[in-house]
Every structure is written in C-alpha cells, then in structure tokens.
Structure 1
C-alpha cells in the first residue's frame, strides 16, 4: 500500500523554525493552510515499489536547488528524484466539495520558474528495484532556497522483504493520443519529436502501473487477399512492441491491455472480421500477454444499440479471442453484447438521494447477468463529481455528487487514490479511464485551465512540458500529483492482493473497508491511511518471511511470492 510518507507525521515533530517540514503526500498543501509536519522523513517501501513524501520549504522562494539524495544501507545505495509542485488556479470548483484558488498538481523540474505567491513544496520519491536488499537505508536531504542553505532533512527508508510485480495485477486502460500530445506541445504529429514524446508519455504511464489505449491511433496498413487481411505491422510494432514485450523499463513492466485500432480500409463485415482475426493472430505470434480488446461505441445511447451489436458480432466472428468492451450500466437492450461490461463507479454503490446511475448493482449482482467468461470493469466519469461544475443549488444533488473516489485536482488526495482499495474490495476485473491528455486538444492553456465535463482535471493527468514553460530545449511530459496517487492506489491493490495470496485475506478485506467502505464512504484522514499502511505492511512482512522459510515447493498456493 504505497503511502510513502513519514510514519512519524502523526507525532507532529517540530522542525527548526523556517526549516523544511516533511508532510504526508496525502495532504494537498494549499496557500491558505499550513500543515503540521515532521523534521525527518521515514518511508517504507516494498521491493519493486516507489514511495514519496513532500518537503515543504519556507514561503516566498523563487529558486530551489538540491544536492542528490543517496540512501545507504545493506544493498546498493538508493537515490531519490525530486520535483517542485506547481499550482493550478481553480476558478470553478468541481462540485460543492471543491474550492476555488490554487491547488498543487503539476510536478515540474526544480529548475522551472516558480511563483513566489504559492507554497514551495518539493515532492521527493524513492524507488526500490525488485531485487533490492531488504533493510534500513539512511541519508540526508540538503536543499537551498534562493541560494541560502536550509537545515538538512534526515531520510530513513525501510525496504521490506516482500516484492511487488512489475506489471499491474489489476488490468487497466487509460486513453492517450499522439495527436493531442502534438497539439499540446505545438508540434506536428508526424514529426519524430512528437513520436518520441508519445513514447515518453507512454513510458510515464507504465512507470505508474498504467496501461494505455489510443497511443499513435493510426491502424496498421491492410490489404485483403482471398478473404484474408494482410497487415503491415512495421510502424505499429515500432511504436507498441516496447510496451508489450517488457523491454521499455528495466523492471520488465508491460501494458496489461491494448486496444484494437479499427481500420477504415476494412469496409465490409467480412473484411472487418478478417482484420480483427489478423490483429488477434499477430498478438499470439508475438507472445504478447496483454489482453487485446475492442472498444465499442462509447457510452452508447438507445439509438446506438444496433451499432454496438453489429460491432460485437463482427469481432466475435473473428474467433472469440478479442473481448468487446462496452461502457454502459446493465441494459437489457445490450444484453450479451459486452465481454467486458464497464459501468461508471457510481453504478456499483446504492446511495440515498437523487440517482446518478439508471441501474445500480454491485459486482456480484452484475456477474449474475453476464455470461460466465465476461469481465466487469468500471470507470470514473463526471457522474462521480457532477457534470456541470460548481455547487448545485439543490443540497441533495450536491451530496449525491460528493465524496466519491475522484481524479479531480480540487478534491482531497485520498479520493484521488481510493480506486485501488475499492477495486480490491469490490472484486472488479479492471479499470478504464477515457483520456489522460484531453485538455491538450482544446484551445485553452492547460497550465491555467483544466475544467472539463464539470471537473478540474477530468480526462487530463499530464501537463505539456514545453521549453517555453519549463526552460531548457526539450519537450517533456509533466506528470501530476493525481497520477502519483493513482499509482499509489494500484500499489495498495498489490499489497492487499498479495496479503490475500499469502493466506490473510480476511485481514486484507477488513483493512480495505477501514479505508473505503464504499465508493463514496472513503476516509479522508491521512493518519488513518498511515495506520492501515503500517498494519498491512507488518502482516505482509511476517507472512512473506514465513513463506520464504518454507523453501521452494512448500509455499502455499495462490501465487509465488
């Protein structure tokens, strides 16, 4: 459960006056609040996990410099990466739970220009390789504010004996587009620079345990011969193979899923089916383990039902190896069309007041209405925060759209993070999210306005790191705090899943419910997340060590530690 803050925060140690304060990453540091912090950082990390904390510096700083942080211990030294948190000025809150004003979100290089009116917060992250020696690592962070040295911040990192898989155990698929990226950076989509940026964005998602659909968008070239589809995979493989074969990252992480890119050159039903069959065969020939899927018409309306059914039939006629994903609640009109039924989050949890989903049913109930091999995914939409923005005049409606797990900038960090815990408790099979760079394709300045679909940040989890914005000469993706919270939530899922595999499922389920009783009953107390983190970590370490002592061949079933 990737919390990664100082475990001593709850003790509220006092730092030197005007000196750095260590604050939980589950606290969004706003200009009108001064969170109490600690003088030192104490992090816990599994092997194969990244953990972070926030270091709050004195206000009014325009330039931050930092010496490399090296943590020494029983294994190879561990180094840290650090970014400064940039602020988004929210004008219209996402709902009654949001607030106008500056909110931290973009993680920019320390060298990027700063706004002295905003708090100076440094996000410090340490990643432990999967083969890192367990034990205690220590070092000190040395920083200077506008050239003046600050008191050092002692860092202690406990590397746990257990190991997380490199690839997410929870399948997921978040949208991204070369064409949106190119527009956001002011580049030609066909340029080598734009294509290199696409890989950098995809790599950033993979580093955060997120798989992507869309990507370069363009389908492979195809021609049809004697009823067969012959595809030219050259450009597709050059783009996608590193994400599917595990060669992009040292960890060997792969995308969990990949979408079929429809081709306009396949015009008849027979040609489309032949094309899908060739797509499926190519993945099999390559040995790519990612689940290939077909994304049917998004959020189909009643008039779209014939189209979705026709899409489903064409894909299934290809041999049944490509599941059809349909974003809809349970709907008798679409019965049997989906192999991956994907309702919105609020469709899984009944709630008093105005209904925000026309067919509410939990995961178990949904499964009874689906074929045995069908999967149940979910996704967030403006149904979680309200699709108009601002505080609704009807208090009951405002309540109906409040407190849900949310990826909005102006919502508490625990809500940004809660999907992993909820996925474990609910038993869903995967998560979909429609886009990560949606606002790039609009005419607005993404750095000052992310308001879309009634929410701040809906569909946008990156910022375009252009030379004009960050300085330097290269374009780069700028990740958000929200993407970090999503990563931590996926690590929460891994912790709970691993604990269950090791025979402690009852404890894992109880721990998950302490943090999120439902999709809208989520603890927003960082201290409670901290306490659950400590307890789950202790149980996992004990179980893992006991399992290792049994030796090969004597370990319990349910997965190899």
Structure 2
C-alpha cells in the first residue's frame, strides 16, 4: 500500500524545485502538471507483496545515479529496486479521455542512456519494495540517495511497514495473458530459433509471473506426438523444459506458479480420435506432474457467425478427451450455446450504461451465470470495445462517453483505470481474466519505443518494451516492464486483500471497499488519495482479523498458497 497523499504546496513538473517529491504510483507524472507530493516515502506492504512509489527529481537533476537502497528493521534488511521512467509520445489519443504528448510508461534501468526525446522531460524514479512471505513484520527504514550532474537532491527518507498478514505467491484469480517467442525475437532483432531468444522468452515469462500474471502462447510449439493403438505417445521433454518451471513453482523463490495453461493443438493429430487422445495425454501429464494449473482449450477467438460450426466441432473434440474446459471469447450467444465451459465476454458486456452500448448483449455477471450450466466459468477480457477501436475522440459526444471511463490498459489513461480490473473482478465475482497479448507491437514494423498505438488504443496488446543492448546500454537483451504492468499487479494484489478479508469473515466490508473504488466497469474513482485511504482501512481491518485467525497461530504465521 502506498502512502496516503498529503496536502502540500503544489509544484509544477519541470520547474526548478529544490527537493525531490514523493508521488503516488497512481499519478502519472507528465510535464507541466502540478503535483502534490511529500518529502518522504511511507509504504505498507503485506508479506508476499510488492509496493512502489515515485520519486520526482528536481528539473536540474540530470543523469541520476542511485545508491542501493536498503531498509533496516526487525528482520532481514529489505532491498529496493529502482527504475527510471521513460516516456511515450502519444500522437493519437486512445479516445476523448486521453491526451496527446509524452506519457510515462517504460521502466528502464536508471543508468540507461537518456534518449533525446526524454531530455527535457521530468526525471522520475520508480522505487519498489518487495517483502518475502517469511519477512518479519514491523517497521523498516532507510534513505534513497541520488547523485546527479546538477545539485544532488537531499536524501529521501523511506519507511516501510511490513504487515503480519501474507498474500499467496500465486494469483488467487486465474488469468492468462498472451506472449509470443516470435514477437519477442522480432522486437529484439533475434532469430526465434536462437538460444538467446529462448532464454529471453523465459525472462518475459518470469516478468509476468513476478507480476502475478500467467501466460499463454510462449513458444507455441506443441509437443511431438505419435499414435499407437489409438493412444497418444507424447514426447514431453521440450515442453517440460519450457513450461515446467512456471508450473511447478521452481522458477521464483516465492514458489509462484502459472494459474493456467492452454493446450497447444498439434497438426500431428489429424483425426477426431487422435485429437481426443492427444488432449487426454495433456490431462494425464499434468496429473502425473502434480501441476495445479487450470488447463484450457482456447477456441477460435471472437468467433463470427461463420465460425460457429468450427467452435462447435472444437468443443466436441476436446470434451471427448475429458478434463479440459473450452474457452470461448464471446458474449452470450444462442448460436454458441453449449460450446463454452469458460465463457469470456469483453469487460463492457458486463455493465449496462446510459447511451450507446458497446457490446451486443450486455448482462451482469449474475444474470449471465443464470444462462449457463452450473459448472461453467465466467471470465472476461479487455478489448478496443471499451476504449474505441478507431482512436481519437469520436465526433459524437455520446459515443465518446460510451467508450470513456472503462478500466483500461492504455498508456494515456489514468493509472486508477489501469489498476481497476482486480477490484472489479472481486466485486463482480468473475472467475478469471484473459488478455490477448503483451508484446503485440513487437510484431509490427514500427519502433515500439515511440509508437504503441494499435486497435485504436495506445498500448493495446503491448505491456512490455524491447530492452535491447543498444537501447539500454546493457550487455544483453532484457524485457522492459511498463508502468501499466505494475498497475495490473497492484490490482491483482487488491483482489488478494479483498479476498483475504472475505475469507477472514468480513466480506461485507470488502464489498463496500471495492464499491468505493469502482462502482462499475466504467465508473471508477480517479482520486489516488481515495484509493490509498481505502487500502489503509482494509489493511487495518486485516491486521485485526489476522491476529485472531487460525493463520496467525500457524508456525511461521504464513497463509498457504491458494493457487487454483
């Protein structure tokens, strides 16, 4: 939980203010806009959680160098990670809610070369502290010291309160975001067959898992299979080498795992019987490995009327194998009735609003469930249906209003909109979230660092930037994380707070807290102070309930991982 903002004399970004300002990560720092910051950083973090804040340096503080930040307290010292925010020049706003001009998004190493496009923009440090699940609760303190070519700002005091309660290592909300070896290779100028590209794919997957996100796609290579007496004989070696660490909890010290995994269809399985045997082999392999991830089959994406027979055939083949739900990205549709085990409409299909509707069949989650079998799951996803697929403000004000206000992963939308999906998932009761891609713009001919405009939105399908040695001044390639991915992670942690509060017996308080932040998918509080105030109240409630709960009495006082 970030510190609550305090009333302070505003400073305009880009002025020659003498000291650094600490600003909530729920505020996107843009040139020429007034900031209400403070001189010290105060964070609250659960065990098993990461939280961050922004430090805005004075305008004269060029080429910063940051000393390692260590925070001392009752347990092992906490270490902080620090990045510098790079800007994307938005030329066409995502809709009337966006604005042209520079927007912060990419988190680059502090020492990375400053690009000419960023030279006259604010210097903003993104400082993050993560508390391992076994961290001793209590107060930790330290100072952020920055050296610059100008007059170095005064040290920034940091106070971090580690809470006694713990969050599970893996997301309690199943999710699946796309990532592709081939797009990554193209974005970094590598051959997809090269060992370097394969190693880089693992780093992208690791970055997603560190942010509580599971991935589909990856190398997209199905395991080789042959058929003997109607049985699929699968060579799992390459698949296990790629996916095993993400599914068995061995990749990260926290033991986090992917919550989901998609079945990779194989052209070697040509008949319906062979396909069913092949799918059945996936189920059996996951069972033998003890991988708890939810397997699913991703049917034809956003099927059109002419695709209905294909989806029905896919569902029939998969169900013949047993144990693999079929995911269909569609609103409720009589033509597809019975085809989906995980029905996945877009976000805007769940919330009626005045004016033009942007989904052909708008139903609340509760109403939607009433039309589905009891065993069916309801997921959702974002698409350009919620920010507008053409880009820029529509001429019709009513149409612009219909596409504004939604939870959004766009660069030029407020940070609370980037974060809101977790709170909305809790209050709506959906079972999971899908997102089509995280590196889509890599597969285009554009420079991702200067243009992430796709499908009418800035950043639609792209949550990373290609960290090449030439760009970062590093010896190797690496994924560059976006501010938006940090907000998505924080939203998933919001979900964990509210879920834990409900589990400890105060679901009514959790629902009320969620409604204060997001009354619907298109009516979301923009005030960073309100978000932080709600989190403080939820934290205080959790501390009290945790102290008297069974979890506090267990050895190590750790909450077990609740991976589905």
TM over 0.5, shorter chain = yes
Q: What's 2:428 paired with?
A: 426
Q: What's 1:302 paired with?
A: 305
CA drift of 1:149 comes to 2.6
2:401 matched to 1:399? Answer: yes
> What is the SS of the residue equivalent to 1:534?
helix
Q: What's 1:135 paired with?
A: 138
TM alignment of 1:39-118, pairs within 5 A:
39-59=39-59, 61-114=61-114, 115-118=118-121
Q: What's 2:148 paired with?
A: 145
> What is the SS of the residue equivalent to 2:549?
helix
CA drift of 1:116 comes to 2.0
Change (3 A) 1:509 1:469: same
Identify which of 379, 382, 399 aligns with 2:381.
Answer: 379
Deviations 1:69-124 (A, max 9, x none): 11101111001000000000000000000000000000000011122211100000
TM alignment of 1:303-322, pairs within 5 A:
303-319=306-322, 321-322=323-324
Identify which of 448, 451, 464 aligns with 1:449.
Answer: 451
Deviating more after overlay: 15-24 vs 381-390: 15-24
> What is the SS of the residue equivalent to 2:6?
helix
CA drift of 1:60 comes to 5.1
Identify which of 291, 294, 298 aligns with 2:294.
Answer: 291
| Distance in 2 between residues matched to 1:135 and 1:366, nearest whole Å | 45
Change (3 A) 1:400 1:167: same
| Distance in 2 between residues matched to 1:422 and 1:249, nearest whole Å | 28
Contact kept? 1:405, 1:417, Cα under 8 Å: yes
Deviating more after overlay: 115-124 vs 141-150: 141-150
> What is the SS of the residue equivalent to 1:10?
coil
Q: What's 2:463 paired with?
A: 461
Q: What's 2:242 paired with?
A: 239
Q: What's 1:25 paired with?
A: 25
> What is the SS of the residue equivalent to 2:163?
strand
Instruction: Give 5+ residue unaligned stretches, structure 2.
Output: none
| Distance in 1 between residues matched to 2:287 and 2:9, nearest whole Å | 56
Deviations 1:478-524 (A, max 9, x none): 00000000000000000000000000110000000000000001000
CA drift of 1:34 comes to 3.1
| Distance in 2 between residues matched to 1:288 and 1:161, nearest whole Å | 29
CA drift of 1:552 comes to 5.8
Identify which of 282, 285, 308 aligns with 2:285.
Answer: 282
2:192 matched to 1:170? Answer: no
2:326 matched to 1:324? Answer: yes
Identify which of 336, 339, 362 aligns with 2:338.
Answer: 336
Contact kept? 1:6, 1:22, Cα under 8 Å: no
Q: What's 2:419 paired with?
A: 417
CA drift of 1:368 comes to 1.0
Deviations 1:388-439 (A, max 9, x none): 0000000000000000000000000000000000000000000000000000
Q: What's 1:491 paired with?
A: 493
Contact kept? 1:14, 1:38, Cα under 8 Å: no
Q: What's 2:518 paired with?
A: 516
Q: What's 2:3 paired with?
A: 6
Contact kept? 2:378, 2:431, Cα under 8 Å: yes
Instruction: Give 5+ residue unaligned stretches, structure 1.
Output: none
CA drift of 1:14 comes to 8.4
| Distance in 2 between residues matched to 1:483 and 1:547, nearest whole Å | 33
> What is the SS of the residue equivalent to 1:317?
helix
> What is the SS of the residue equivalent to 1:68?
coil
> What is the SS of the residue equivalent to 1:184?
helix
| Distance in 2 between residues matched to 1:29 and 1:559, nearest whole Å | 36
| Distance in 1 between residues matched to 2:155 and 2:321, nearest whole Å | 62
**Paired residues, number:** 553
Deviating more after overlay: 543-552 vs 255-264: 543-552
Change (3 A) 1:175 1:549: closer
| Distance in 1 between residues matched to 2:552 and 2:479, nearest whole Å | 45
Deviations 1:150-177 (A, max 9, x none): 2000000000110000000000000000
CA drift of 1:551 comes to 4.0
> What is the SS of the residue equivalent to 2:55?
strand
Change (3 A) 1:393 1:550: closer
> What is the SS of the residue equivalent to 2:120?
coil
Q: What's 1:197 paired with?
A: 200
Contact kept? 1:22, 1:55, Cα under 8 Å: yes
CA drift of 1:147 comes to 6.0
> What is the SS of the residue equivalent to 2:105?
strand
| Distance in 2 between residues matched to 1:19 and 1:11, nearest whole Å | 17
CA drift of 1:148 comes to 4.0
Contact kept? 2:61, 2:150, Cα under 8 Å: no
Deviating more after overlay: 307-316 vs 354-363: 354-363
CA drift of 1:12 comes to 2.7
Change (3 A) 1:559 1:191: closer
Contact kept? 1:130, 1:164, Cα under 8 Å: yes
CA drift of 1:539 comes to 0.2
Contact kept? 1:60, 1:118, Cα under 8 Å: no
Change (3 A) 1:512 1:406: same
Q: What's 1:438 paired with?
A: 440
Identify which of 339, 357, 361 aligns with 1:355.
Answer: 357
2:255 matched to 1:252? Answer: yes
CA drift of 1:50 comes to 0.2
Identify which of 182, 201, 206 aligns with 1:179.
Answer: 182
| Distance in 1 between residues matched to 2:233 and 2:8, nearest whole Å | 65
> What is the SS of the residue equivalent to 1:95?
coil
| TM-score, length of structure 2 as denominator length | 0.96
C-alpha RMSD of matched pairs (Å): 1.8
Change (3 A) 1:550 1:207: closer
| Distance in 2 between residues matched to 1:262 and 1:232, nearest whole Å | 14
Contact kept? 1:60, 1:117, Cα under 8 Å: no
Contact kept? 1:60, 1:116, Cα under 8 Å: no
Deviations 1:8-31 (A, max 9, x none): x22437899421100000000001
Change (3 A) 1:160 1:359: same
> What is the SS of the residue equivalent to 2:30?
coil
